[in-house]
Amino acid sequence: MVNTDLGSYLRRMRERVRPEQMGLRSMGSRRVPGLRREEVAALAGVSQTYYTRLEQSQTAHASPQVLLSIARALQLSADERDYLLKIGTPVSNPREPAPRGDQVSPYTRMLVGSLENVAAAVLNYRCDILAWNSLYHRLFAPHLDVDAPERADDRPNIIKMNFLDEAVRSLYADWTAESEANVTYLRFISGDHRHDPRLAELIGELTMGSEEFAELWFRQRVANCVDGTKLFDHPVVGELELMYQSADLQDGNILKLYHAEPDSPHEAALRLLAVDLDPVRHG
């Protein structure tokens, strides 16, 4: 069985490591700026022939011990190492587990709706929005129907909107950083869900619809995104610096929270956004 994911990922990771980073002398001309295959093999303690077979997709899988040695040789981050283990070890049952219907429990809906000064949403691992409170809706997508997450056929997907919806894309003060974070996360979760046709469809749609996405996807960078800070340029309240956190729910979905630093101008702006300012709704 050919594993092109493993081979292409190893090549991309090898090409980004400079010999001097590993204390190696760069002797002779190099076709690529990164390490040679024989150098990775030596650093990982495996034979050059075996490593070459992995990179050329002639060997589908490797033992976790070998993959961990290669991860150390390539100086992979924890997320990159975990991704390598996911795509490099055999799957006992290659079929994607049966979907849970992307259902949100009544208790989770009550929790999301009760958070007045926190923008909250429930996402599945593909980043389809299954539920959002009014503040999250006004922050990210007031141009969409507030009931859109309840309709499976046209449910919003935050990554798709970030690349293909200009209204959402323009929200980010640093869209380049946001786009990279989106793609590294999508690559990260694809290691666990390689056999999900809906995830493959999403990646295909983004690849065809956005040259920027296609370029970032080809880089094969991997990282999970669980917390951090984002700066928004919102058309209603202006500059917003918000902290975000992600929490795994028991049903397999993700609770996403955006909040401002207490007693800051950003918290005041978020509170203002929480007020219904739409003149159409007020007649």
What pLDDT, in 10s, does the model give residues 48-58? 999 999 988 88
Measured CA distances, 271 to 227, 236, 274, 277 (Å)? 21, 12, 5, 11
For 4-88, which CATH class? mainly alpha
Q: Does the pLDDT at position 27 exceed 70?
A: no
* % pLDDT > 90, the chain: 61
Query: Torsion angle, CA of 269/273/275/281, rounded to 10 degrees?
Result: 150
- Residue 159: CB atoms within 10 Å: 22
| Lowest-confidence region among 32-36, 120-124, 144-148, 255-259 | 32-36
Residue 75, pLDDT > 80, answer yes
DSSP the chain: ---HHHHHHHHHHHHHS-GGGGT----S--SSSS--HHHHHHHHTS-HHHHHHHHTTSS----HHHHHHHHHHTT--HHHHHHHHHHHS--SS-SPPPP-TT---HHHHHHHHH-SSSEEEEE-TT-BEEEE-HHHHHHH-TTS-TTGGG-GGG--BHHHHHHH-HHHHTTBTTHHHHHHHHHHHHHHHHTT-TT-HHHHHHHHHHHHH-HHHHHHHHHT------EEEEEEEETTTEEEEEEEEEEE-TTS-EEEEEE--TTSHHHHHHHHHHS---TTTT-
What is residue 134's predicted lDDT score, i.e. its pLDDT?
93
Predicted local distance difference test score (pLDDT) of residue 91: 65
For 95-114, the pLDDT digits (tens) are: 555 445 577 888 788 888 88
Output the pLDDT for position 80.
Answer: 93
pLDDT score of 258: 95
Between residues 98 and 3, the one the model is more confident about: 3
Q: Is the pLDDT reported for residue 283 higher than 50?
A: no
- The pLDDT value recorded for residue 281 is 43
Q: Does domain 106-274 have CATH number 3.30.450.180?
A: yes
Q: Is residue 158 scored above 80 in pLDDT?
A: yes
**Mean pLDDT of the 105-124 span:** 86
Q: What is the pTM of this model?
A: 0.79
Q: What is the pLDDT of residue 3?
A: 56
Percent of the chain having pLDDT more than 70? Answer: 88
- Break the chain into its structural domains and give their ranges: 4-88, 106-274
What pLDDT was estimated at residue 282? 40
Comparing 118 with 283, which gets the higher pLDDT? 118
Model pLDDT, residue 108: 83
